[in-house]
Structure 1
Amino acid sequence: MRERLRAALLLALLLGLSPTLAVATEPTAVVAPAVEEEPASDEEDAEEHDANWVPGYEEVPGQAVELSESALKATVLNSVLRPAGGYIPLEVVLFNPGATPHAVSIRVESQRVGRSQVSTRQVEVGARQRLSAWIPVPSTAQGGLVRLSSPGGAFRSFNFYSVDPSGQPVLVLGSEQAFQSGTKLPRVKDKPKLSVRFIPPQDAPRELALYVGHRMVVVAGDVTAIPADAWSALEAYAATGGHLVLLRPPRDVVARLPLLTQTPTGVLPYGFGRLRVCAKAQECGDGLLADVNLLEEPAQAPVSVVAPAGPPPSWQRGPFNSNHLLNNGEAPLLPGVQAPVGRFLLLITLFVLAVGPGGLMLARRKGPVALLIAVPSVALVTCLAIVAWSVLVEGFVIHAARYSLIWLDRDRDRALMVGVGGYYANLEPEGLHVPAMAALLGPDVDWESQATEADWTNGMAVTGGFLPSRTYREWGEVAMLPSRARLTVRREGQGLRVQNALGAPLASGHVRLGGKLWQLPALADGAEGEATLAPATGDKVSFLQVVDFSASVNHRFSRVAWRTLDEPLPEGGFAAKLGGPGLLPLSALPVELHEGLHFVRGRVDAP
Structure 2
Amino acid sequence: MRERLPAALLALLLCASPALAAPEPEPAVVDEETAAEETAAEEEEEDKSWVPGYQEVPGQAVNVSEGDLQATVVNSVLRPMRGYLPLEVTLYNPGSTPRAVSLSVESQRVGRSQVATRQVEVGPRQRLSAWLPVPTTSQGGLVRVRSPGASFRNFNFYSVEPEGQPVLVLGSEQAFESGTKLPRVKKRPKLSVRFVTPQDAPRELALYVGYPLVVVAGDVTALPADAWSALEAYASTGGYLILLRPPRDVAGRLPLLTTTPTGVLPYGFGRVRVCGKAEECGAGLLTDVSLMEEPSVGHVGVVAPAGPAPSWQRGGGQRLNDGEVPLLPGVQAPVGRFLLLITLFVLAVGPGGLALARRKGPVALLIAVPSVALVTCLAIVAWSVLVEGFSVHASRYSLTWLDRDRDRALTVGLAGYYANLEPEGLRIPALAALLGPDLSWEDQATEADWTNGMVVTGGFLRSRSYREWGELAVQPSRARLTVRREGQGLRVQNALGAPLAEGYVRLGGQLWQLPELADGAEGEATLAPASDVKVSFTGLVAFPEPVKRRFSRVPWDTLDAPLPEGGFAAKLEGPGLTPTAALPVELHEGLHFVHGRVDGP
* Shift in alpha-carbon separation, 1:49–1:470, aligned structure 2, 3 A: closer
Gaps of 5+ in 2: 1-25
Mapped partners of 2:424, 2:166: distance in 1: 35
Tell me, yes or no, if structure 1 residue 211 matches structure 2 residue 195: no
Give the structure 2 partner of residue 35 of structure 1: 28
> Aligned-pair distance for 1:155?
0.8
Mapped partners of 2:531, 2:325: distance in 1: 38
Aligned residue identity for 1:236: A
> Aligned-pair distance for 1:465?
1.6
Give the structure 2 partner of residue 411 of structure 1: 405
> SS at 2:137's partner residue?
coil
When normalised by structure 1's length, the TM-score is 0.91
Cα pair 1:403 1:420 within 8 Å, conserved:
yes
Give the structure 2 partner of residue 152 of structure 1: 149
Aligned partner (choices 330, 339, 350) of residue 356 of structure 1:
350
* Shift in alpha-carbon separation, 1:478–1:123, aligned structure 2, 3 A: same
Aligned residue identity for 1:577: K
Mapped partners of 1:117, 1:296: distance in 2: 34
- Count of paired positions: 571
Q: Which moved more, 1:348-357 or 1:484-493?
A: 348-357
Note the alpha carbon deviations across 1:549-588, whole angstroms, 9 max, x for none.
Answer: 1221011112110112211111100011111010101110
Tell me, yes or no, if structure 1 residue 94 matches structure 2 residue 76: no
Aligned partner (choices 133, 136, 139) of residue 133 of structure 2:
136
Give the structure 2 partner of residue 280 of structure 1: 277
Aligned residue identity for 1:35: A
Cα pair 1:547 1:597 within 8 Å, conserved:
no
Correspondence list, 1:553-564, <5 A: 553-564=547-558
Give the structure 2 partner of residue 4 of structure 1: none
Correspondence list, 1:500-519, <5 A: 500-519=494-513
Give the structure 2 partner of residue 533 of structure 1: 527
> Aligned-pair distance for 1:142?
2.2
Mapped partners of 2:127, 2:296: distance in 1: 41
> Aligned-pair distance for 1:150?
0.7
Aligned partner (choices 421, 425, 431) of residue 431 of structure 1:
425
Cα pair 2:170 2:196 within 8 Å, conserved:
yes
Q: Which has the larger radius of gyration?
A: 1
Give the structure 1 partner of residue 199 of structure 2: 202
Give the structure 1 partner of residue 116 of structure 2: 119
Tell me, yes or no, if structure 1 residue 549 matches structure 2 residue 546: no
When normalised by structure 2's length, the TM-score is 0.92
Correspondence list, 1:56-67, <5 A: 56-67=53-64
> Aligned-pair distance for 1:114?
5.2
Cα pair 1:442 1:450 within 8 Å, conserved:
no
The share of aligned pairs that are identical, in percent, is 79
Aligned partner (choices 435, 457, 463) of residue 457 of structure 2:
463
Mapped partners of 1:321, 1:545: distance in 2: 38
Gaps of 5+ in 1: 1-32
Cα pair 1:81 1:88 within 8 Å, conserved:
yes
> SS at 2:28's partner residue?
coil
Tell me, yes or no, if structure 1 residue 496 matches structure 2 residue 490: yes
Cα pair 2:104 2:114 within 8 Å, conserved:
no
Mapped partners of 2:215, 2:401: distance in 1: 24
Give the structure 1 partner of residue 562 of structure 2: 568
Mapped partners of 2:169, 2:155: distance in 1: 26
Aligned residue identity for 1:503: G
Tell me, yes or no, if structure 1 residue 594 matches structure 2 residue 595: no
> Aligned-pair distance for 1:113?
6.6
Correspondence list, 1:60-79, <5 A: 60-79=57-76
> Aligned-pair distance for 1:54?
4.7
Give the structure 2 partner of residue 231 of structure 1: 228
Cα pair 1:517 1:537 within 8 Å, conserved:
no
Note the alpha carbon deviations across 1:191-246, whole angstroms, 9 max, x for none.
Answer: 10000000000000000000000000000000011000000000000000000000
Mapped partners of 1:185, 1:554: distance in 2: 37
Q: Which moved more, 1:108-117 or 1:400-409?
A: 108-117
Give RMSD over aligned pairs: 1.7
Aligned residue identity for 1:424: Y
Aligned residue identity for 2:227: A
Give the structure 2 partner of residue 108 of structure 1: 105
Tell me, yes or no, if structure 1 residue 192 matches structure 2 residue 185: no
> SS at 2:452's partner residue?
coil
Mapped partners of 1:554, 1:341: distance in 2: 31
> Aligned-pair distance for 1:448?
4.2
> Aligned-pair distance for 1:430?
2.0
> Aligned-pair distance for 1:305?
1.3
Mapped partners of 2:46, 2:571: distance in 1: 57
> Aligned-pair distance for 1:47?
6.2
Cα pair 1:85 1:304 within 8 Å, conserved:
no
Tell me, yes or no, if structure 1 residue 321 matches structure 2 residue 319: no
